[in-house]
Amino acid sequence: MTNPSKNLSEFAVLLIDVQKDFWTKEIATDFPDFPSKVAQLLKFCRTEGLDIIHLRAGFKKDESDWMLRYRLLGEIPCIEETSGTNVLDCAREVQGEPIIIKKSFDGFINPLLEEILEKRNKRCLLVAGLVTSVCVLLTAATAAQKGYLVNVIEDCCADTSEAHCYALNNYPFIFNCTEVSRINTDMEIWISELQRLN
């Protein structure tokens, strides 16, 4: 457990798109520990009182809310009322945890995300989910540009192996990386960084 003196009120976890359409056979093969790591993350957050915000993709069957390139392609992941939108068991919300439905790669395109973060006075975001090189990366990048200190929980993200590694290793100016087992100790560093930025 974290030190009781730590103030975690400025921290939040963004858990992105842990849904069946994004949990492909290839990704599941490359990252077999992903579900257990996400479950471990959520247990830690709930025990320590760290806010969790769930972001999930969901699109209408009639294509009216699809991004244009997907309309040209004629298909998109996570169409409403299909099994592909289902959340993996490891990532189910509990009562009181916000769920934000997004129609884009970047979670901040839905203004509700920033409204929640501002209302709760969040300054440091821990980002996790699927897939690393797309929705995780693009949401993390916007968070950094909007003034949040960003850390990606690398073992709670997954993608094809090559794309995962590239996304995590090439953007140190956007975010730092951690692992779920290191959050407890890294929290001291993040709190210190926030104090330096005051």
20 contacts: CB under 8 Å, gap ≥ 6: 83, 84, 85, 86, 87, 88
pLDDT tens series, the chain, 198 aa = 555 446 899 999 999 999 999 999 999 999 999 999 999 999 999 999 999 999 999 999 999 999 999 999 999 999 999 999 999 999 999 999 999 999 999 999 999 999 999 999 999 999 999 999 999 999 999 999 999 999 999 999 999 999 999 999 999 999 999 999 999 999 999 999 999 998
pLDDT at 123: 98
Distances (CA, A) of 2 to 48, 49, 90: 7, 10, 23
Type and span of the H or E element at 53? strand 51-57
Q: In what order do the strands lie in the sheet with 99-102?
A: 99-102, 51-57, 11-16, 124-130, 149-158, 176-178
pLDDT at 103: 98
CATH superfamily of domain region 11-55+88-197: Isochorismatase-like (3.40.50.850)
> What pTM, to 2 d.p., does this model score?
0.96
Type and span of the H or E element at 37? helix 34-48
SS3 at position 89:
helix
The neighbouring-strand residues paired with 176 are 151
Say how many Å lie between the first and final Cα of the chain, rounded.
26
Q: Is 19 exposed, middle or buried (0-12, 13-18, 19+ CB in 10 A)?
A: buried
Rg of the chain, C-alpha, whole Å: 16
pLDDT at 7: 80
